[in-house]
Chain A
């Protein structure tokens, strides 16, 4: 049965942006959600890291050059020559590392507090996909540096994918591009890293947050 529509008086006289902010950050919240030990803010911090990644990534985009011979020099250039380049690059790097750590801790917390039980089963599933996506986005970022480690990580990942029975070669082609290593491979990784994976992430994150409230989570369905 659908709930009857209840008008919310707070937003009536304000701009829709204020109303949106108040939706995210209500003035009255249930006492239980104010306890830090309830969630340890892990999901929120991971989101913060994601925003940091988007922001610093957009800046690094200006100088990154996705080709086999220019990728690494372009990263050196941005790190050692561009003003504040070392800062944005390190923010991007460490933000990525912390995002992985935070989502894993977040998952452990959810498991520990048994928050995967109904009614949150669906959100646990969404969260698991998000975890995989975060790993992938981190991994592709690691490859984009295209130093020796990236090269061998790429080789191993590609070989592993090819070993999948029946469809392995097809998968490898779609994910990594043509098998003779050329610039297209790096461009493919680049596309995953800066567009496709983040796009999936944003979509699923929105679903994740919406479901949290729907399931009576952090600020409850106000």
Chain B
């Protein structure tokens, strides 16, 4: 059983001087204290600013506009059949076939963790430098750790001059 004796009453009758000191509207005259306050405010503000910047960037991830992948007809015509060619501005590898519909483009990011892979001419394989995944010329996995094939893209006619590379098969 608890009794009042366990809790010596705490007096709320504070001396006059203390009660006035406790009210907030006493100006801060202690300069060391106000300096420290300033430093803390400044540091806190910097941390706050930095973290809100990080949070905003984090939250807006994935809202970038879709990649606009294009290829000029001229560049396409200059490619060798059956030889992958890297198209940096379209962020993809293009493998020209006999005509447009038998040609193929591959997203230039490895399906494992998104590194940029390269074409190895001797082995005739795409090799990823990050963890050593290998893909054949159609983007199929030949060696792990990647488990999915490379993202396949289609070439479609945009105009006389321009081809579009997209994940939509032609005719759609």
Contact = CB atoms under 8 A, between A and B. Distances in A.
A222 B10 contact: yes
B54 A87 contact: yes
Interface string B1-39: 010101100101010000100111000000000000000
Contact of B58 (A8, A14, A85, A220): A85
A56 to B, nearest CB: 10
A13 B24 CA distance: 10
Nearest to B55: A59
Contact of A14 (B24, B55, B62, B114): B24
A83 B113 contact: no
> Interface on chain B toward A: helix, strand, loop, or mixed SS?
loop
In the complex, which range does the number of interface residues on chain A fall in?
20 to 34
B58 A216 contact: no
Interface in B140-160: none
A81 B58 contact: no
Contacts of A8: 12
Given A80-B114, A119-B6, A9 B12 contact: yes
Contacts, number: 47
A114 interface: no
Contacts of B62: 82
B59 A62 contact: yes
A83 B58 CA distance: 5
B57 interface: yes
Interface residues of B, number: 20
Contacts of B19: 9
A88 interface: yes
A6 B57 contact: no
B58 A84 contact: yes
Contacts of B6: 119, 216
Interface of B: 2, 4, 6-7, 10, 12, 14, 19, 22-24, 54-55, 57-59, 61-62, 113-114
Given A1-B4, A8-B12, A62-B59, 17 more contacts: A6-B12, A27-B22, A28-B14, A28-B22, A63-B61, A82-B58, A82-B61, A83-B54, A83-B58, A83-B61, A84-B55, A84-B57, A119-B2, A216-B6, A216-B7, A220-B10, A221-B10
